Structure 1
Amino acid sequence: MSVLRTKSVERSIADTEDGKQTLKRNLSALDLTVFGVGVVIGAGIFTLTGRAAAEVSGPAIVFSFVLAALCCALAALCYAEFASTVPVSGSAYTFSYASLGELLAWIIGWDLLLELMLGASVVAQGWSEYLVALLEQFGIIWPAATAPGGVIDLPAMLLIAVLTMLIIVGIKESLRVNLVLVALKLFIVLFVIIAGIFMIDTANYVPFIPAPQPIASESGLDAPLMQVVLGMEPSAYGVAGIFSGAALVFFAYIGFDVVATTAEEARRPQRDLPIGIIATLIICTVLYCAVALVITGMIRYDRINPEAALAQAFADKGQAWMAVVISAGAVAGLTTVVLTLLIGASRVVFAMSRDRLLPSTLSRVHHRFRTPWVISLVLGIVGMLIAGLTPIGRLEEMVNIGTLAAFIMVSIGVIVLRRQRPDLQRAFRVPFVPVLPILASLICLYLMINLSLLTWIRFGIWMVIGVALYFAYGFWFSKARSEEKEKLSMDRPPG
């Protein structure tokens, strides 16, 4: 019995047909695309774009977005192949179980829980800040003790509570609300883009690629691992600035992989999942590039306010009222992000629980709504406590490193499963295997070493806790181990 035992694709699919642990298949390609856009497009489109242009790339930030999208596309292709081959809840966890073995699957599941649960809590706090700011613009002052930075962040807790109830009621119902909010968000983004086009001064695009400049490097635990280990110093602008900008804005795309967590609830997963994942990337890339062109055209890159790029750009043009529109867009945008991350987290833990790497009670499905209500409720309560009572804003990089680690495992898994099971029917196939998956892994590794040493230390601690938990519970109670023991006992000769 080994920690490297795998769970066959056929067995993973068979588990989805267990009546007591079966989710309802009712998501279309459109639902999945809206799901993906809902999590990728958040407040970052209003802030990160301007910050990256001001600090590292200038107007050439457009090239950074395209480069980052190409990097994400490599990982997206790997996700699309796995999702169409193994249409089961759990995303990278399930894919890793089928190709890399139980221990690595557990590590990825634990890693995804970090990405999704912590991500939902961090974004809920950001939503709370935008909500309070929006209310203030209407003359409504939220009590300081229960506002962001107070004793308790009540708006963030209320948001997670409401969304948790919505998720329990049903995935389709959740996505109907998501559709409305995504439509509102996209309307505001398009409104901002169209309004900004008429205020563009083309002189601000010169030079489009500013001359390279050295920038002050971090020190100690805040220094990037790349700087600590390899001695590589960061630089801004020029061609190097485009690559630095790509590393920065790459994280604006994080979330498209959450689409794969709903594989078990897609009507035609072999067709709809690849469409949902790839369409999400295309739509988001177009919107990011358009906003980048508007910001750098409205105001010269070296005068952009990194903290409130779009709002300040419109204020400088005498349109301060646009700050209200942008805040409303951020509130709508972040609502969909939190909703999607909570759904993703519940589906990953559901898959792990169904495999008995976590207590099987967590995978209990509601008899009426056909949703994993127990784990949704547990994660909702945990998310409320984290978002409401802890200052976790500084842990945002943990979300990034967790996501990139999952990307690497999925990319490697595609190569392994191609070798192990060439006979499998694959509705979507990554071209140029193993070259593209290896390239995807190397790019993700490069982005990981751009993160701080402190982030790596925290990530290592989280992984150690996860491995300890696996050997304390999952290893002994996993369904695969029980089946392995049963098979051995049947094969053993009597007497």
Structure 2
Amino acid sequence: MTRPSLGAQLGRRRPIGMLVAEAGQGTQGDATLGRHLSMIQLAMISVGATLGTGILALLAEQIPHAGPGIWMSVLLAAIPALLSALSYAEMAGAVPVSGSSYSYAYVTLGEGVAWVVGWCLVLEYGVSVAAVASGAGQYVDETLRIFGLSLPAAIASDPSAEGGVFNLSAFVLVVLAMVFLVRGVREAAWVNTVLVVLKIAVLLFFAAVAFTAFRVDHFAGMFDAFVPGITGAAAVLFFSYIGFDAASTAGEEAREPARDLPRAILLGMGLVTVIYVLVAVAAVGAREASWFADNGLVTVLAEVTGEPWFGVVFSVGALIAFASIVLTVLYGQTRILLTMSRDGLVPRVFGRISRTTRTPVAGTLITGSVIAVAAGIVPLGELANATSIGTFAAFTVVNIAVIVLRVRRPDLPRTYRVPLFPVVPALGALTCVALMTQLSAATWVAFACWMAVGALVYAAYGRRHSRVGALDDAAYRAALAAE
């Protein structure tokens, strides 16, 4: 069989009708994913993948830079994330499948861009899970020390730390998430919902305690450091919002995807933003901004109450936050790979769905095992930072995809439409590109190396197994005409 030229194949789009039909019926007699997720559970996936590490790790670090105006930094950081979230909401309602930005790129910009986005997501989701799990290992050890206990150095961290050999806590956390996902998405979604409710409760608990020591004078001069203090902190805090797109990977397991996915994405973004602002205001209200140069959020609780056990509650809440992120992001990773497998761009094993659990069992076990080992032994370094570029690239493509699909298919049913089109998606794309330019040269080098590996994988496997690339010209034109 003669395939199209490389340039022609890279430009071939996935017909929307074919994509949606295969998502609902499976391919070549395969089982399909079960539609179990309600709108609330979808929103909890979005919140679960977003809320936690950013606010816990970054907020206290940025308060000395932004001063009492840190709450404005939180709101400013939400703006570029919200612009992209609006575009994700429209695409999720128009193309309700599990591929997220990868599928949105495939139906609008072609196989080449889709492969780049999909390969970015493999990095973003996989390394994010490993990095978050690794961070959870540190909280496990800190929590144990409160009770006078500690893990042996050899199993407390990866080899990048002195005496470290294997991060056992990180490994176990990823394995547990993998087990829940293999058992079924219904069970995993309920576990995630419970974890999200608990971590929201812990953050609200922090705010309630901090507000008992609230002083208005701590906010004096909050506009004095707007540039570069407040705006600089906003650029850093933007990373606290990454993860809202996780709900878009659940397009084939939502009960009413076209209706519920846009609502879940926007509800998740709104809830996360409100909680972030509340925590920021409560923290500065309880202690002056300069105090945070040497202290973190957990110390606020200990000082305000005079009871060290409040720190234990916060540390446990941090562990819950980590666990929820690992579960939801690993879920998204398996669904991205499932969709890429269905398109023929990665091996078929990632797309096999169990008729018993209605989940991609083999793909989940392979992906989870690799990430669990990586979390335990691999110092991620600049590769973890390179996930930022992949995230921004995916966001940029989704914003562009909204514009392209509106022009190409104005008649396509949409359950949500981006307001102020095309200004909002255009601004969303531009802000993401601007943020990408602020990343370090080392991060760009690591990302370039990852993309070089991706080009080799596509040349060796994806190009030869692509289902769209296998169509002759007549069949491809007919598929597009039938959209």
TM-score by length of 2: 0.92
The amino acid of 1:313's aligned partner reads V
Shift of 1:101: 0.1
> Is the contact made by 1:21 and 1:363 (CA closer than 8 Å) also made in structure 2?
no
Cα distance between partner residues in 1 of 2:299 and 2:477: 71
Cα distance between partner residues in 2 of 1:259 and 1:489: 32
My pick for the range that moved more, 333-342 or 389-398, is 389-398
Among 171, 183, 187, the residue aligned to 2:197: 183
My pick for the range that moved more, 39-48 or 340-349, is 39-48
Q: 1:180 to 1:456 in 2, by over 3 A?
A: same
Q: Structure 1 stretches (4+) deviating beyond 6 angstroms?
A: none
User: Following superposition of structure 1 onto structure 2, how do residues 421-432 of structure 1 map, counting pairs within 5 Å?
Assistant: 421-432=409-420
Cα distance between partner residues in 2 of 1:152 and 1:467: 32
Shift of 1:128: 0.9
Q: 1:313 to 1:396 in 2, by over 3 A?
A: farther
CA shift digits 1:350-402 (9 cap, x unpaired): 00001001111221001100101111111111101110011125543222221
1:12 counterpart residue number: 19
User: Following superposition of structure 1 onto structure 2, how do residues 325-364 of structure 1 map, counting pairs within 5 Å?
Assistant: 325-364=313-352
Shift of 1:247: 0.8
2:464 counterpart residue number: 476
My pick for the range that moved more, 463-472 or 401-410, is 463-472
> Is the contact made by 2:54 and 2:241 (CA closer than 8 Å) also made in structure 1?
no
Give the 3-state SS of the residue equivalent to 2:11 in structure 1.
coil
Cα distance between partner residues in 2 of 1:63 and 1:134: 32
Give the 3-state SS of the residue equivalent to 2:468 in structure 1.
helix
Cα distance between partner residues in 2 of 1:279 and 1:472: 41
Where structure 2 has 5 or more consecutive residues not aligned to the other structure, the ranges are 479-483
Among 251, 258, 265, the residue aligned to 1:270: 258
Shift of 1:278: 0.4
Q: 1:488 to 1:98 in 2, by over 3 A?
A: closer
2:367 counterpart residue number: 379
Among 137, 161, 180, the residue aligned to 2:175: 161
The amino acid of 2:139's aligned partner reads Y
Among 212, 219, 225, the residue aligned to 1:205: 219
Shift of 1:489: 13
The amino acid of 2:20's aligned partner reads I
1:214 counterpart residue number: none
2:481 counterpart residue number: none
The amino acid of 2:186's aligned partner reads K
Give the 3-state SS of the residue equivalent to 1:265 in structure 2.
coil
My pick for the range that moved more, 281-290 or 465-474, is 465-474
Shift of 1:106: 0.6
1:41 aligns with 2:51: yes
RMSD over equivalenced CA pairs, Å: 1.7
Q: 1:271 to 1:489 in 2, by over 3 A?
A: closer
Cα distance between partner residues in 2 of 1:43 and 1:435: 31
Give the 3-state SS of the residue equivalent to 1:20 in structure 2.
coil
2:35 counterpart residue number: 25
The amino acid of 2:213's aligned partner reads M
The amino acid of 2:55's aligned partner reads I
1:248 counterpart residue number: 236
Q: 1:485 to 1:192 in 2, by over 3 A?
A: same
Among 302, 310, 334, the residue aligned to 2:297: 310
> Is the contact made by 2:87 and 2:398 (CA closer than 8 Å) also made in structure 1?
yes
Cα distance between partner residues in 1 of 2:110 and 2:39: 30
Cα distance between partner residues in 2 of 1:52 and 1:190: 20
Give the 3-state SS of the residue equivalent to 2:469 in structure 1.
helix
The amino acid of 1:312's aligned partner reads T
> Is the contact made by 1:346 and 1:375 (CA closer than 8 Å) also made in structure 2?
yes
> Is the contact made by 1:305 and 1:312 (CA closer than 8 Å) also made in structure 2?
no
User: Following superposition of structure 1 onto structure 2, how do residues 64-213 of structure 1 map, counting pairs within 5 Å?
Assistant: 64-148=73-157, 149=161, 150-210=164-224
Cα distance between partner residues in 2 of 1:188 and 1:179: 14
The amino acid of 1:357's aligned partner reads L
Among 315, 324, 344, the residue aligned to 2:312: 324
My pick for the range that moved more, 143-152 or 365-374, is 143-152
Give the 3-state SS of the residue equivalent to 1:69 in structure 2.
helix
Shift of 1:488: 7.9
Shift of 1:486: 7.7
> Is the contact made by 1:23 and 1:370 (CA closer than 8 Å) also made in structure 2?
yes
1:59 counterpart residue number: 68
1:436 counterpart residue number: 424
Instruction: Report the number of matched residues.
Output: 462
Cα distance between partner residues in 1 of 2:365 and 2:474: 34
Cα distance between partner residues in 2 of 1:353 and 1:111: 16
> Is the contact made by 2:120 and 2:387 (CA closer than 8 Å) also made in structure 1?
no
CA shift digits 1:409-430 (9 cap, x unpaired): 1001111111222221111111
User: Following superposition of structure 1 onto structure 2, how do residues 281-296 of structure 1 map, counting pairs within 5 Å?
Assistant: 281-296=269-284
